[in-house]
Structure 1
Amino acid sequence: FSRVPGYGTSGTLHIIANNQLGFTANESESRSSLHASDLAEGFEIPVIHVNADDPVASIEAARTAFAYRHKFHKDFMINLVGYRRYGHNEGDEPRFTQPAMYRKIDEHPRVRQLWAERLKKEGSLQEGEANEYLQANLKALQEASDQLDPEVALVEPVPKPPPRGAAHKVKTSVTLKRLKELNKGLLEFPKDFLLNPKLVKAAERRSTLLDKPENARIDWATAEELAFATILEDGIPIRLTGQDTIRGTFSQRHAIFYDARTNQGHTPLQSIPQASASFEIINSPLSEAGAIGFEVGYNVIAPERLVIWEAQYGDFINNAQSVIDEFLLAGRAKWGLTPSLVLLLPHGNEGQGPDHSSGRIERFLGLAAETNVRIVYPSTAAQYFHLLRRQALLLKTDPLPMVIFTPKGLLRHPLTASSPHEFTTGGWQRVIDDQNLPGKKADVKNMTLCSGRIYIDLVTSDLRKENADDAIVRVEQLYPFPTKELEEILADYPNLERLIWVQEEPLNMGAWNYVRPYLRQLTEDRLTLHYVGRPESSSPAEGSTTLYRINQQSLIEQAFDFDKQAQTSSVVKESG
């Protein structure tokens, strides 16, 4: 990444602590190259091989590395070749697997002894002086250790808890006047800029979008850009990186417009006069572990900046699981870190196959504990708008990583678009009650709970109108679980008999296994709890579009016609 735009560090010093072994594996079993540092040659990174037994040479290598970085602002590598005297750890027995090597190591003097002998030969040390220094320092260390009470002296770095109700109190709505002014500024292009003909009509439509706000509908991408513009106007810088993020995987974003003649780029969010903070957007390399690892580190070092990484498809997050597990979601518990990185993961089964359907909701929910993350699945553009603004406004008072499962095919769906009124009033809603209930709340017997794109399939089904006694409630925030909000909604349905969780993911995936104990606690003995969705599967989705459509339709039918006892081979309807 050292020469990739947006990932430079003005050079990194790499040091290989080369003890010539893995745990028990030899060098020839660990790599194909001659030296452990040979990969650096492909990137024209200078390498110094130095004997770890020689302190002077090691210091000189380090000085050379720093001087090179300072002058050329490029990477430098030191291959520090040494050995392990005690194997993998002090309790290990390396002679089981490397007896010949360890016969030599047993006979080999330690670095301290070699250095002392050298100083004696040079006349810098007298006989016995080295041992006196050693004993004096060991004594000092022992005395310091004896005075310590580890249980008292060791203070774990625990982050301060946020002010009570910080996330609930933050105001994310903005005035219509502000939205209009920002929208206008975002559509101003440099003189003689030739916009791609396919984008001209879209830009023209958007320029008049807010002229009649009572009739306007703001789509997902526009909501995102307006959210970013308001955040920049608030003085909060933004770094947005990801896979094809500049244009957007689904051609929805166009954060940079390119002149059709000159290819010169124009970034509206860097040009609006209202912005009082920086905005950068970068296409990240398709190396998820490296890219997200960089963003986690960047975010920890620059906590005042809204840092976002977007996957091309949510499935690609699989390749960064180690970074997410070790640093992003466990960093608070292990080291007291307070990352606030946002992950945008396009998620949803739309018949595109097992590798383009799932951001692995179940994995993130399995890692959620001790309020270490926010996990959300917003269903409308306004919800997304408020979510981004809330995250930015909480960076100082309540920083947490946030995982947002975003739409793909629904980016331009009319039901995910929102009215301007939804941007100028209210805020992020953790749960959304049925806003278009066919009947009366008192008549409702079945309440369907769902999250994400399955909601659209449910409310657009012809069966929706035929089932006036079914309410459909969206759980927009999965973690922390919105118990209080759900309790309030359940109280509004006095004659409820069933609570049904519907998801399009398989039984062993999605949110079901996470939400089930919470829902069981909510229902107690008053309501029966049920699941409708795909059966258990080792794959997150079907490999056939035709089979997907059949299964999806069966799933919707089961959700509405719950009393029907028949089961298909692809859909499970079972008690919770």
Structure 2
Amino acid sequence: MGIPQIETGVPIEILRKINSELLNWPEGFNVFNKLEKILQRRKDAFSKGGKIDWGLAETLAFASIITDGTPVRLTGQDSERGTFAQRNLVLHESETGEQFSPLHVLPGAKASFSIHNSPLSEAAVVGFEYGYNVFAPETLVLWEAQYGDFANAAQVLFDQFVAAGRAKWGQKSGLVMLLPHGYEGQGPEHSSGRVERFLTLAAENNWTVANLSSAAQYFHILRRQAAILRKEAVRPLVLMTPKSLLRNTTVAADPQQLAEGSFKPIIEQPELGGQPEKVERVVLCTGKMSIDIAEKIQPEEHGWLHVLRIEEIYPFPLEQLKEKLGSYPNLKEIFWVQEEPKNMGAWTFVEPRINEAAPNGLEVSYFGRRRRSSPAEGDPNIHKLEQARIINDALTRTNGGGNENGRD
């Protein structure tokens, strides 16, 4: 079950060349000075100690995909710039307003790149892009919500077409949905991409649902999606994408991570788990919570703990998780940690699957917010207190959690 592993690395000399070409603008084309400084920093990404952030990893993925000969089409609300000013794939001349996109003139491109801002009419746009992808299956088609919960207005399209089109009509689609998701104290309307709804609809290998924690993983999953477009394995891809993590240095990738390897459904926390016999607790998490935890870990104090990031939630990597959990002979506790309320997020979906993977009769317990009718707190200070409590629980040896944790 799931997409076979596909090598999606791109030789580093090609990536370096593409990165340089992306910063070649027409002579006399004046980019807004503040934005120019930000983009010019990307020149250093392939220097010694350089890092590739989320936005650059995405651009390099798109550039390499059209260089391979696969067209790319991206639409969404403010997608040319990116809701969080992370993309900037359409530049505006600061004096004349003339537009320019470096991906339209990329020297090695063998296919087209198309990007459009779309109106706040999610059902109409998702419907159009789904249809576009069905009738142009060779194209990597992406739709991006301004915030993840804006996808609410397209729920009928997800239910009737994107999730079930193959089962009902044998209609294949490789549509990618980018849904900004993460609890950062912005309140109920801008926090959740409603991953639980997509997991409720997940069955019969109908789509992939992922929540990533690194720019390298994003690069590889986009290239994997492009690679399967004309194959039997093609399916839609639902991605919970970051907001505050877009520029987080922990999320940024070393260039070599893009040059080799492939997408990994599970990532192990660096600097932990090196002595399996000492591991007594395994924490499982996904997306932004993985980074929140990573930033609080002190390897010299947490040798009794290991953290596994579930990057691909559906299809669930059951066999891989069984193998990893089975490698800790003294394992006593398994916890799922999430930032969403208990009746939302991935908990309800992953609980029975983690229990199936758990060795020696262990059962997974829960750390997170209690059940709620609204996705998130409206007060940023309360949010910070709750987030700190969850992380502290996950990393403190005496905290037991349990399935009672989070009940009303």
TM-score (norm 2): 0.96
Indicate whether 1:573 and 2:408 are aligned.
no
- Residue of structure 2 equivalent to 1:198: 34
| Shift in CA distance, 565/373, structure 1 to aligned 2, threshold 3 Å | closer
Indicate whether 1:348 and 2:154 are aligned.
no
Distance 2:327 2:282 in 1: 11
Indicate whether 1:179 and 2:15 are aligned.
yes
Q: Deviations 1:94-128 (Å, cap 9, x if unpaired)? A: xxxxxxxxxxxxxxxxxxxxxxxxxxxxxxxxxxx
- Residue of structure 2 equivalent to 1:553: 388
Distance 1:572 1:269 in 2: 52
Contact 2:67 2:108 in 1 (8 A): yes
Indicate whether 1:424 and 2:259 are aligned.
yes
- Residue of structure 2 equivalent to 1:273: 107
Distance 2:293 2:122 in 1: 34
Indicate whether 1:393 and 2:227 are aligned.
yes
- Residue of structure 2 equivalent to 1:363: 197
AA at the equivalent of 2:319? K
Q: Deviations 1:414-451 (Å, cap 9, x if unpaired)? A: 00001011111111000011222176222110000000
Distance 1:423 1:198 in 2: 28
Q: Deviations 1:472-529 (Å, cap 9, x if unpaired)? A: 1100000000012112212332211111100011110100100111111111543232
Distance 1:564 1:452 in 2: 23
AA at the equivalent of 1:332? R
Alignment of 1:101-140 (within 5 A): none
Contact 1:497 1:526 in 2 (8 A): no
Counterpart among 271, 295, 310 of residue 475 in structure 1? 310
Unaligned runs of 5+ in 2: none
Contact 1:438 1:467 in 2 (8 A): no
Counterpart among 131, 154, 172 of residue 320 in structure 1? 154
Tell me how large the CA RMSD over aligned residues is: 1.9
Alignment of 1:137-286 (within 5 A): 167-212=3-48, 215-286=49-120
Distance 1:272 1:340 in 2: 24
Distance 2:399 2:60 in 1: 46
Report how far residue 198 of structure 1 moved: 0.3
Alignment of 1:473-512 (within 5 A): 473-512=308-347
Report how far residue 554 of structure 1 moved: 0.9
Distance 2:222 2:295 in 1: 28
TM-score (norm 1): 0.68
Contact 1:558 1:573 in 2 (8 A): no
AA at the equivalent of 1:168? P
Q: Deviations 1:291-314 (Å, cap 9, x if unpaired)? A: 101111111111110000000100
Report how far residue 339 of structure 1 moved: 1.2
Indicate whether 1:402 and 2:237 are aligned.
yes
Q: Which has the higher contact order (CA 8 A, sep 6+)?
A: 2
Contact 2:187 2:376 in 1 (8 A): yes
- Tell me, what secondary structure is at the counterpart of 1:358? coil
Q: Deviations 1:388-437 (Å, cap 9, x if unpaired)? A: 00000100012100000010001000000010111111110000112221
| Number of residue pairs matched by the alignment | 406
Distance 2:21 2:268 in 1: 35
Contact 1:502 1:532 in 2 (8 A): yes
Contact 2:73 2:140 in 1 (8 A): yes
- Tell me, what secondary structure is at the counterpart of 1:297? helix
Contact 1:450 1:475 in 2 (8 A): yes
- Higher mean C-alpha displacement, 176-185 vs 431-440: 431-440
Report how far residue 464 of structure 1 moved: 6.5
Distance 1:277 1:565 in 2: 54
Contact 2:370 2:406 in 1 (8 A): no
Q: Which has the larger radius of gyration?
A: 1
Counterpart among 496, 500, 514 of residue 349 in structure 2? 514
| Shift in CA distance, 296/355, structure 1 to aligned 2, threshold 3 Å | same
Report how far residue 273 of structure 1 moved: 0.6
- Tell me, what secondary structure is at the counterpart of 1:168? coil
AA at the equivalent of 2:160? E
Indicate whether 1:305 and 2:109 are aligned.
no
Indicate whether 1:540 and 2:375 are aligned.
yes
AA at the equivalent of 2:325? L
- Tell me, what secondary structure is at the counterpart of 1:250? coil
Distance 2:298 2:369 in 1: 19
Distance 1:439 1:427 in 2: 23
Unaligned runs of 5+ in 1: 1-163
| Shift in CA distance, 265/572, structure 1 to aligned 2, threshold 3 Å | farther
Report how far residue 283 of structure 1 moved: 0.4
Distance 2:45 2:292 in 1: 27
Distance 2:47 2:266 in 1: 31
- Tell me, what secondary structure is at the counterpart of 1:245? coil
Contact 2:272 2:302 in 1 (8 A): no
Distance 1:535 1:454 in 2: 16
Report how far residue 260 of structure 1 moved: 0.6
